[in-house]
Structure 1
Amino acid sequence: MTRCRPAWLFLLLCLLCNGALVPRAIAQTDPSVPPPVANQSMSDAWWTGPMLANSAETLPPGHFLFEPYLYDIRSPGNDSFGSRTYILYGLADRLSIGLIPVFGYNRVNNGHSSASIGFGDLTLQAQYRLTEFQPGSRIPTTAIMLQETLPTGRYDQLGSRPSDGLGGGAYTTTLALNSQMYFWMPNGRILRERFDISGSFSRTANVEGVSVYGTDSGFRGTARPGRSFSADLAFEYSVTQRWVLALDLTYSYNSNTRVNGVDLLSSPNGLPYVQNVALSSGASEAYGVAPAIEYNWTPRIGVLLGTRIIFGGHNTVGTVTPAIALNYVY
């Protein structure tokens, strides 16, 4: 009898183990238990991109991207209407080039508005992709972007219409690192994240007369815009294949802009005399958000509607900028 105890104990243990497995099998087929969530495929999610953050992707060779923005920068006593159009081309594998023309019109409550719609500064762009995200990987898509802004917009000799000023008058170089990552939420939908950082520096601009730098009609001299830094963290949530919710969180810093020269003034007796001028804008920083909604008719064409809100910051005026953009790739 005593020798049979190990056998009985072994048999009892097997029965208990088998019994323990029965509820699990039942639970797997129980209709009251929801099935595992299937992750949304990347091809099922269509995007236009958030309102502000640049993509780290590059276009396939021979393909174009056309994305015009229409916007209104609203600040106290002023509306700056504008258009900014991204025209990009896939030149080679991992390399896209393009240009960004800008047009604008300033409406001023107290003073003269722009005489007409004007051409702003033109930006040339090249972007080279370093890495490419793959599902299951922790490595994001990354790219280096180089931009050169040409002083094609009016900025000085503005006479009685300072609002005609739409440019900066200086060549500006911008170097940026763009990144893009995908995350799958608990419900299986995709959350796309972009994080971009950039720095810019400008050469000296010759300035004559009334200008965007606050000089008057008698001024002759130069302006040197300060260096700038910006960061943008953006999220896009794929609600459905066609509908996307987007949000940008932005920070920017601009160092001091210096203006130096002379001003020809008239003395009380009517004789002209020269006065040295040295102006400094001081450093500034700003924080902002840009919520937006995207709708995509196809993987190649979509529309975005959003609003950028700059809360202000040190030496910065708050603005509200509603915008609409069309994204088309072919």
Structure 2
Amino acid sequence: MSLFPNAEQVEALPEQWYTGTLFAPSPALTDADSYTIEPYVSVNVPKGAYNSSGTLKKNHAQTSVSQFTASYYGITDQLTLYASPAYSYSWGDHSPHSGVKFNDLPVELQYRLTSHETPSVTVYLGFDAPLGSYSNLGNANEGVGTGVWDLRYGVQAQVVYPFFQRVMRIRMWAAATQPLSSVRLRNISSYGTETGFKGRGYSAQTGNEGFSLEFGLTKRWVFALDLYHEWSASSEVKGIYRQTKERYYSRTGWSGLFNVGPALEYGWSPDIGAIAGVILPVAGHNASRDVQAQCAVFVSF
């Protein structure tokens, strides 16, 4: 028995309408001049933080809501341009609100190594543009960016299988970002500095890897599940507080977070659908535990 279904087996599968899961990246689009958008709304509710030993402790953090739109344009049948502009707003915890903030902007080229969508392997290469506020802030909650250009890269694989009388789609991926420079910081910043500071920040490498399952319940209804791990390397801050002449150095530890993301998808047609679910952190270290309720609409042109 072959590990991957062949073209004839795929064509024999029942029709299934997908939107994609809450977190897993999608393969490159299959048609040139096609366009897909997925506007998301995410509400993040803080539920403590994991310390260095993985014990969950209380922490003081704000509730936040963000809106981001994953946008895909098929340049060719195998090459896709991706961008995801995002806004966010945070409030609560007896602290000043952030105001509506534009976040750093991820942009990627996605190339599918196969001529078909399943099984398929897609590679990613792009950047994060430093558009979010990060330095000389009115308050710490306004910091939503890193201030540096990041290189983005990754790989994703997808395959579909028969699942009883319906279809199961599996995606696996690994992705990372690499900062390309350090950044000058002044006063209050997203790196944890306070008024009077002058120095430099060194952003951390970040990444995630995991797999997702989508089980067809009917042609229109799909149960989706993401299982993935997020990580961040150490970041550093070096500088001086001008008034006191006090030298300052800070280095964070590595952090990691394991997440589960169940959701339900519904399709009105092959090109229009919606998804709603929640991302639940289940274990980690040196990381905040934020429960994320998400919903999105999927539209393909």
Instruction: Please point out which of 163, 166, 170 is paired with 1:193.
Output: 170
In 2, are the aligned partners of 1:57 and 1:141 still within 8 Å (CA)? no
Structure-2 change in CA distance of 1:61 and 1:297 (3 Å)? same
Shift of 1:42: 4.5
Counterpart for residue 3 of structure 2? none
Counterpart for residue 125 of structure 1? 108
Equivalent-residue separation in structure 1 for 2:125 and 2:143 (angstroms): 25
Equivalent-residue separation in structure 2 for 1:143 and 1:306 (angstroms): 26
Counterpart for residue 134 of structure 2? 155
Equivalent-residue separation in structure 2 for 1:208 and 1:312 (angstroms): 35
Structure-2 change in CA distance of 1:51 and 1:42 (3 Å)? farther
Identity %: 27
Equivalent-residue separation in structure 1 for 2:200 and 2:72 (angstroms): 34
Shift of 1:188: 2.8
* Structure of larger gyration radius: 1
Equivalent-residue separation in structure 2 for 1:222 and 1:74 (angstroms): 31
**SS of residue paired to 1:54:** coil
In 2, are the aligned partners of 1:56 and 1:142 still within 8 Å (CA)? yes
Shift of 1:132: 4.7
In the alignment, structure 1 residue 173 sits paired with structure 2 residue 151: yes
Instruction: Please point out which of 285, 291, 312 is paired with 2:256.
Output: 285
**SS of residue paired to 1:131:** coil
In 2, are the aligned partners of 1:236 and 1:247 still within 8 Å (CA)? yes
Scaled by the length of structure 2, what TM-score is found? 0.88
Amino acid at match of 1:126: L
Equivalent-residue separation in structure 1 for 2:72 and 2:223 (angstroms): 24
Counterpart for residue 210 of structure 1? 188
Gapped regions of structure 1 (runs ≥ 5): 1-37, 266-272
Shift of 1:73: 1.2
Instruction: Please point out which of 86, 107, 115 is paired with 1:102.
Output: 86
Amino acid at match of 1:238: G
Shift of 1:93: 2.3
Structure 1 segments of 4+ aligned residues over 2 angstroms from their partners? 38-43
Shift of 1:149: 0.5
In 1, are the aligned partners of 2:14 and 2:167 still within 8 Å (CA)? no
Shift of 1:297: 0.2
In 2, are the aligned partners of 1:300 and 1:329 still within 8 Å (CA)? yes
Counterpart for residue 25 of structure 1? none
Shift of 1:158: 1.1
Equivalent-residue separation in structure 2 for 1:313 and 1:204 (angstroms): 27
In the alignment, structure 1 residue 58 sits paired with structure 2 residue 36: no
Greater RCO, CA 8 A, separation 6+: 2
Aligned residue pairs, count: 279
Shift of 1:117: 1.2
Equivalent-residue separation in structure 2 for 1:207 and 1:164 (angstroms): 14
Counterpart for residue 221 of structure 1? 199
Shift of 1:104: 0.5
**SS of residue paired to 2:157:** strand
Structure-2 change in CA distance of 1:124 and 1:57 (3 Å)? closer
Amino acid at match of 2:174: I
Alignment of structure 1 residues 307-326 onto 2, 5 Å: 307-326=278-297
Equivalent-residue separation in structure 2 for 1:283 and 1:123 (angstroms): 23
Residues 215-261 of structure 1 deviation map (CA, whole Å, 9 limit, x = unaligned): 00111111112222310210000111100000000112211101111
Equivalent-residue separation in structure 2 for 1:39 and 1:216 (angstroms): 58
Shift of 1:205: 1.9
Equivalent-residue separation in structure 2 for 1:176 and 1:146 (angstroms): 7
**Structure having the larger proportion of residues in strand:** 2
Aligned CA RMSD, in angstroms, stands at: 1.8
Equivalent-residue separation in structure 2 for 1:124 and 1:55 (angstroms): 14
In 2, are the aligned partners of 1:64 and 1:87 still within 8 Å (CA)? yes
Amino acid at match of 1:49: G
Shift of 1:98: 2.8
**SS of residue paired to 1:167:** coil
Equivalent-residue separation in structure 2 for 1:312 and 1:90 (angstroms): 37
Counterpart for residue 29 of structure 1? none
Shift of 1:59: 4.2
**Structure having the larger proportion of residues in helix:** 1
Counterpart for residue 328 of structure 1? 299
